[in-house]
């Protein structure tokens, strides 16, 4: 991380941008207080296609594990049974 005053940043802006392009963080200060932070842009995706596929598979497995069994009564059947017993 590099910290420079605003005047120095103005005179060395191109060099500071090159540092940021190389992955460095540059902080620009005015009267000793940080006013600007220059960070490199993310070039890699935050999550890969493989991670997405793995997460989707886990979601599907969870849904399958909590789904009611096929022989379970449906909601309308349960309602009719509850009304006829009353």
The domains of the chain are located at 2-38
Confidence of residue 75 (pLDDT cuts 50, 70, 90): confident
pLDDT tens for 26-53 read 999 999 999 999 999 876 667 888 999 9
2-38: which CATH architecture? 3-Layer(aba) Sandwich (3.40)
- Alpha helix positions (H), 1-66: 6-11, 13-21, 49-66
pLDDT tens for 51-65 read 999 999 999 999 888
Torsion region of 23: left, alpha or beta (phi above 0 gives left; psi -120 to 50 gives alpha): left
């Amino acid at each position: 991380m590099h910290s420079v005053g605003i005047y120095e940043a103005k005179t060395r802006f191109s060099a500071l941008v090159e540092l940021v392009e190389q992955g460095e963080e540059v902080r620009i200060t005015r009267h000793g207080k940080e006013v600007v932070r220059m960070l490199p842009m993310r070039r890699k995706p935050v999550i890969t296609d493989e991670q997405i596929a793995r997460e989707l598979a886990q979601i599907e497995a969870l849904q399958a594990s909590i789904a009611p069994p096929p022989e379970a009564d449906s909601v309308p059947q349960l309602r009719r049974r509850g009304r006829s017993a009353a």
